[in-house]
């Protein structure tokens, strides 16, 4: 049975999707129609991983990590940068 990951905060999905689009656009990835999932396809293609729409249960954990890791890592880095900037402006 597959699980669908959901953000901890209800209603945060749209903001997270927009963050993904913004961050990965800065990294020169082509985002089709502002679709954040198209970023995954670009990263997978770059890594040589056979990602497809829908169920990718045949992928290994290593392959999935090579796709999601760079995306999530860049998103976290951007959020940390924003938090530091916000903290600096409050002093």
Asked whether residue 81 carries a pLDDT value surpassing 90, the answer given is yes
Q: Nearest to residue 23, comparing CAs of 60, 61, 78, 64?
A: 78
pLDDT category, 65, cuts 50, 70, 90?
very high
Asked whether residue 1 carries a pLDDT value surpassing 50, the answer given is no
Asked whether residue 76 carries a pLDDT value surpassing 90, the answer given is yes
- What is the tens place of the pLDDT at every residue in 42-62? 899 989 999 988 888 899 999
pLDDT for res 61: 92
Tell me the three state secondary structure of residue 35: coil
């Amino acid at each position: 049975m597959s699980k669908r990951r959901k953000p901890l905060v209800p209603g945060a999905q749209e903001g997270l999707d927009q963050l993904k689009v913004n961050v990965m656009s800065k990294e020169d990835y082509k985002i089709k129609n502002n679709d954040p999932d198209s970023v995954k396809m670009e990263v997978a293609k770059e890594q040589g991983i056979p990602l497809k729409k829908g169920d990718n249960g045949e992928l290994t954990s290593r392959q999935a990590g090579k796709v999601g890791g760079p995306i999530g890592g860049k998103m976290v880095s951007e959020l940390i940068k924003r938090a530091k900037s916000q903290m600096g402006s409050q002093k």
